Amino acid sequence: MEMIKGIKGHGYYDELVVPIIENTAYENELTDSLAKAIDAYPKATAVLVRNHGIYVWGDSWINAKTQAECYHYLFDAAIKLHQLGLDWSTPNHGPTRNFKLGLGSNGNVNTSAKAVTEGSDYGSGLFPRCIVLDIEGTTTPISFVSEVLFPYARDNVGKHLSVTYDTAETQDDIKLLRSQVEDDLKQGVAGAVPIPPGDAGKEEVIAALVANVDAMIKADRKITALKQLQGHIWRTGFESNELEGEVFDDVPEALEKWHSLGTKVYIYSSGSRLAQRLIFGNSNYGDLRKYLSGFFDTAVGNKRETPSYVEITNSLGVDKPSEILFVTDVYQEATAAKAAGLEVVISIRPGNGPLPENHGFKTINSFAEI
């Protein structure tokens, strides 16, 4: 955009219009279409001839040559950005936040470039190579998790365990819960109750499991044993259409845009990967999984611990962690990700908890701001 200043009659924030005309077999045959372009756009100081070159005029030969170099730079930059898969129509650099270069058709005359200024709370430099999104309070209302998903799991855990008790999947869930409860009992965790051995009656075992799961849900514990079982219970709910995932209205459009730009988008949530796929695969906007490149859960580590984000960085194969943008509503998660070198913004959504004063992070109210 700096090069617009080198073109006569234009400043940094001004609109730049370049007529584009079709080429002809002989140069002298361009006269009529050139005249038409100049008449249609009297402020233009150049005309681009498709598949040929650009005609520039100025007060002197030197002036025209300087302007030609500016036009060449602008067009060359747009082409290179396009080849790199970057969004050359809406970069987020400097005071000029939105640059639109379009080659349309209007008879023999096309309009091309225009620069406009728009405000933005986030964005400088290149667009992130990867975006990692939290779910609760970021893509999805906290109320959906606390008032829909958690109650469904709590109300159906007994039924689910009873119906699927002898399956390998549920036996694996029970094994994980046993291990977790044993640790909880050793550490004196409130709400933990002993689970009878496997040779005890089925109903006794299930009753103890229900009591432990209920306590874990009430404490909102972010542990794999609970999240894995919840995912299996929610799967039943989604398959029977008792549950439907919920995302904020700006999420689908943003996911589609990032996908079209070649930016890889991942989910990192304390909920199991199965639960994540269920929410985005059965959302109020349909199946959004086609826009997502992968899912991370607590198997990579606690979301409030820096090594978790180091592990994610290594998994994504980026050259440096700053190529990843992490979006969350939780200050402690933001701090951990920043310590790992990731770029971080905090999501401000209805129902989210308060942030510390002077937290130092950029904030967004909508994905459209990214």
3-state SS of the chain is: CHHHHHCCCCCCCCCCCCCEECCCCCHHHHHHHHHHHHHHCCCCCEEEECCCEEEECCCCHHHHHHHHHHHHHHHHHHHHHHHCCCCCCCCCCCCCCEEEECCCCECCEECCEEEECCCCCCCCCCCCCEEEECCECCCECHHHHHHHHHHHHHHHHHHHHHHHCCCHHHHHHHHHHHHHHHHHHHHCCCCCCCCCCCCCCHHHHHHHHHHHHHHHHHCCCCCHHHHHHHHHHHHHHHHCCCCCECCCCCHHHHHHHHHHCCCEEEEECCCCHHHHHHHHHCECCECCHHHCCEEECHHHCCCCCHHHHHHHHHHHCCCCHHHEEEEECCHHHHHHHHHCCCEEEEECCCCCCCCCCCCCCEEECCHHHC
Residues present in the chain in total: 370
What's the confidence (pLDDT) of residue 145? 92
The answer to whether the beta carbons of residues 131 and 266 sit under 8 Å apart is yes
Q: In sequence order, what are the beta bridge partners of 295?
A: 267
CATH dotted code for 143-240: 1.10.720.60
Radius of gyration of the CA atoms of the chain, in A: 28
Q: For residue 96, what are the contacts with CB-CB under 8 A and spacing of at least 6?
A: 1, 12, 13, 115, 116, 117
Which of 366, 340, 327 lies closest to 130, judged by CA?
A: 327
The domain at 130-141+246-369 falls in which architecture?
A: 3-Layer(aba) Sandwich (3.40)
What residue segments make up the domains of the chain, in order of their start? Answer: 3-84, 130-141+246-369, 143-240
Buried b (16+ CB within 10 A) or exposed e, 339-355: ebbbbbbbbebeebeee
3-84 and 143-240 agree in CATH topology: no
Which of the residues are catalytic? 2
Angstrom distance (rounded) from CA 184 to CA 189? 5
CB 133 within 8 A of CB 265: yes
Say what the pLDDT of residue 124 is: 43
CA 350 from centroid of its chain's CA atoms? 19
Structure tokens at 182: 């044993």
Per-residue pLDDT of the chain (370 residues), as tens digits, is 567 777 777 766 667 778 888 888 777 777 888 888 778 877 777 888 877 778 777 666 666 777 778 888 888 877 777 777 776 555 454 443 343 333 333 434 443 333 333 333 334 445 789 999 999 999 999 999 999 999 999 999 999 999 999 999 999 999 999 999 999 999 999 999 999 987 888 999 999 999 999 999 999 898 889 999 999 999 999 999 999 999 999 999 999 999 998 899 999 998 889 999 999 999 999 999 999 999 999 899 999 999 999 999 999 989 899 999 999 999 999 999 999 999 999 999 999 999 999 999 999 999 999 9
∠ CA 220-226-227, nearest 5°, is 90
How high is the pLDDT of residue 102? Answer: 37
Q: Could you tell me the sign of the dihedral formed by the alpha carbons of 129, 260, 116, 349, in that order?
A: negative
Task: Tell me the pairing of strands 264-268 and 130-133.
Answer: parallel
Q: What is the CATH number of domain 3-84?
A: 3.40.225.10
What's the confidence (pLDDT) of residue 328? Answer: 98
Beta strand pairing call for 130-133 and 362-364: unpaired
Query: Rounded distance, CA 232 to CA 245, Å?
Result: 15
Token output for 118: 């728009």
Residue 283 amino acid letter: S
pLDDT at position 61? 64
264, β-bridge pairs: 130
286 φ/ψ angles, rounded to the nearest 5 degrees = 85, -160
